[in-house]
Amino acid sequence: MTTVAKDARPVKPRPRKPLPPVSGKCRWLIEPIPVADFETGVLSINGVEYTVTVGPERAGARLTKAGTTTVYHVDLVGGGCDCADSQYREERQSQGGCKHRKALVAALAALPRQKHHACNHCQCHVEGPGLCDRCRAVEEEHAGYHEACEMEAAGLIDGPADADW
């Protein structure tokens, strides 16, 4: 037979201690270099190496922990990360984020300011605004054809527009 105490007191949850903000050290082992429409480099966060892939406009990044399959996606604009610390501790958002986000923001801010441009068509890295050499060559090759099509559509020439392309 099971007995239950008559004066069972309700259990009060213990108050949690305030969560201390994250801190540490980060440094670029290999500074990010442009590859296609993103940048990639190697960053050390508290002595742990991560391969960093930063997306266009530096809006987000992917951190891959060296020697493992662990990958974290960091939102540099919205302030989130998909690591457990950021996902399960809501107070991290008011503190500037988890160690991955805070380290990445600090490391990117320490880089020299470089304006990166992407091709208007294929989004590969180019030195200045506009098209890459490959897309520019294709555009020039088709320029005569496009001009003839526009003239036909405007009624300036009769019949189908024929052009070598």
Q: Per the structure block, which two tokens stand in for 130?
A: 């506009």
* Other beta carbons less than 10 A from residue 31's beta carbon: 14
pLDDT, mean of residues 49-72: 92
pLDDT at residue number 69: 94
Residue 68 pLDDT more than 90? Answer: yes
pLDDT at residue number 163: 46
Instruction: Return the exposure string of 56-88: e unless at least 16 CB atoms fall within 10 Å of the residue's CB, then b.
Output: eebebbbbbeeeeeeebebebeebbbebebbee
Residue 23 pLDDT more than 90? Answer: no
CA-to-CA separations, 76 to 29, 122, 126, 155, in angstroms, rounded: 21, 24, 23, 51
pLDDT at residue number 6: 64
pLDDT, mean of residues 7-17: 76
pLDDT at residue number 165: 46
Give per-residue pLDDT as tens, 105-116: 899 888 876 556
pLDDT, mean of residues 131-159: 75
pLDDT at residue number 52: 95
Residue-range domain boundaries for the chain: 26-114, 115-165
- Please tell me which residue, 130 or 30, carries the higher pLDDT value: 30
